[in-house]
Structure 1
Amino acid sequence: MQSLETEWLSKMDYGQAWDLQKKLVREIDREERRDTLLLLEHPPTYTIGSDRHPEHLLYEKEELTRRGITVYEIDRGGDITYHGPGQLVGYPLLYLDAVGLDLHGYLRKLEEAIIKLLADFGIIGGRKPEYTGVWVGDSKIAAIGVKFNKARTRRGFVTSHGFALNVKKNVEQDGFQGIIPCGIAEYGVTSLETLTGMELQVEDIGNRIIPYFSEVFDFTASIPLVHPSS
């Protein structure tokens, strides 16, 4: 088993984090860096994946400006989603060998790590067969959208993009009301704070997901997150 490098990036602009992912993907491809899990928060941002539906963005340009929400069209799969303060975003940058490669299985493992974390709080998380992500009943608590970057120096892929887990209650209203999340109009979203009634910190949830991520993806003990306050 290999070790996983984890980094807490605090709050980072989406474009800056996207550029960092591309850089680290190249380094992992060249075997200059270990598999890495980036954990962070973003300022208010809408991202639109390859399954583009402009009608799922409900705010006009003036309203986006008023609310301070930026919009990026990006290279992951999926439709539109929201990122913002109070949400744990995880970008796993992992080399997937071509031997026995199961791309759908990778998505299921991301879901499984989050489901295991929810169980820590007594929350039963699950899946909906027609949608990617993690659900609690009919409310979505974590969105998932990834890209498989074809490796250039060896056979296989390096992953980028990843998951967004709603931690704080404010996330439910701060940005999701301006979109049809992932194009799914019939279901809503929820958060860890709403479901538990507890006040939670995004950094703490980042630390708590690392062991489950390592377990599901068969990594050895991860390097702990380094908090800005430490």
Structure 2
Amino acid sequence: MSGGGARRVLEAWRLGVVKYGDTLKLQERLVADRRAGRVPDLVLSLQHPPTYTFGKRRTDHNLLVPESSLAGLGAELHRTERGGDVTFHGPRQAVLYPILSLRDVGLGARRYVEGLEAAMVEVASLYGVEARPRGRCTGVWVGDRKIGAIGVRISSGFTSHGLAFNIDPDLGYFKHIVPCGIANKDVTSLRQEAKVELPPDEVIHHQLVQSLAKTFRFTDVKVKDDSECTEMVYSAAA
């Protein structure tokens, strides 16, 4: 974007691999801080160790193995207050948790979810993958195969939780659940579907953040790198 209009900056916190329980606590704190105006609109960009999560509907029947067996799979289980059904998070899956004021962004809940879907669709297209939403089936699909999941929480107009985009996770973990509660549908990844060689995961994380920022009309992104304690600002329109 150009001209002398007001700049709208989205902070992107690059956190690397973080345990799911730690991000739950972090999101709770950041939502409270965002509501009080102590932090700006921001997005957490990270990956999780192998983790299964339920949404607030508690559809335990969509876990296809005994809960007691999950430790043997090297996975944790968490029950959350986000929307959506059971899903899996793991290495080589890009996770974004936006902490936004929807009033400031100028969106309602449905348009917000559509924006998350649009960001994943755009990034998939960079690698020759034609992904799209599927009506009432929230998330992003390549044919009948799901490549990106969405589960959000909106409390008094402030968002948490978000999206999970499969770069190249171990898809075997999804066989132990009914992913997002949708039976007889496969899960796929960018690695399986891409027409070209993929860059490092960090590049795809960056592209997702950039696409998200453009979709929600931020002009700039300020990156905070937790591992290097550095900051970088770039244009969301670049």
TM over 0.5: yes
Mapped partners of 2:202, 2:105: distance in 1: 35
- The offset of 1:83, in angstroms, is 0.4
Look up the match of 1:203: 202
Aligned residue number for residue 20 of structure 2: 14
Residues 99, 11 of structure 1: alpha-carbon distance in 2 compared, 3 angstrom cutoff:
closer
Q: Tell me, which stretches of 5 or more residues in structure 1 are unaligned?
A: 151-156
SS in 2 for 1:223: strand
Q: Check whether the contact 1:6–1:224 (CA below 8 A) recurs between aligned residues.
A: yes
The residue that corresponds to 1:153 in the other structure is: none
What do residues 139-176 of structure 1 show as CA deviations (whole Å, max 9, x unaligned)? 000000000011xxxxxx110000000001x4312x10
- Answering whether residue 133 of structure 2 is matched by residue 134 of structure 1, we say no
Taking structure 1 as reference, are residues 99 and 63 closer, same or farther at Cα in structure 2, changes over 3 Å only?
closer
Q: Give the residue type in structure 2 aligned to 1:4.
A: L
Q: How far does the alpha carbon of each residue in 1:176-220 deviate from its partner, in whole angstroms, 9 at most, with x for none?
A: 011000111121111011112635432221111122111100001
Query: 3-state DSSP class of the match of 1:43?
Result: coil
Once residues 171 and 32 of structure 2 are traced to their aligned partners in structure 1, the CA distance between those partners, rounded to angstroms, is 35
AA aligned opposite 1:107: V
Identity of aligned residues (%): 36
Aligned partner of 2:181 in structure 1 is 183
CA contact (8 A) 2:14 2:223 kept: no
Output one character per residue of 1:61-98: Cα deviation in whole Å (capped at 9) or x when no partner. Answer: 34211112111110001110000111011000000118
Query: When the two structures are superposed, what TM-score results if normalisation uses the length of structure 1?
Result: 0.91
State the 1:51 CA deviation: 2.3
- How many residues get paired? 222
Relative distance call for 1:24 and 1:98 in structure 2 (3 A) is closer
Matched residues in 2 for 1:162 and 1:18: separation?
Answer: 12
Deviations 1:2-48 (A, max 9, x none): 20000111111100001000111111111111101101010111100
Aligned residue among 141, 146, 150 for 1:144: 150
Q: Report the equivalent of 1:42.
A: 48
Aligned residue in 2 for 1:154 = none
| Deviation (angstroms), 1:224 | 3.2
C-alpha separation in 1, matches of 2:29 and 2:106: 26
RMSD (Å) for aligned C-alpha atoms: 1.8
1:89 and 2:95 are equivalent in the alignment: yes
Q: Which residue is equivalent to 2:217?
A: 218
| Distance in 1 separating the partners of 2:62 and 2:217 | 37
Structure 1 residue identity aligned to 2:203:
D
Verify: 1:125 aligned to 2:126, yes or no: no
Q: Distance in 2 between matches of 1:99 and 1:203?
A: 26
Report if the CA contact (8 A) 2:98-2:160 is conserved. yes
The separation in 2 between residues aligned to 1:62 and 1:55, in whole angstroms, is 14
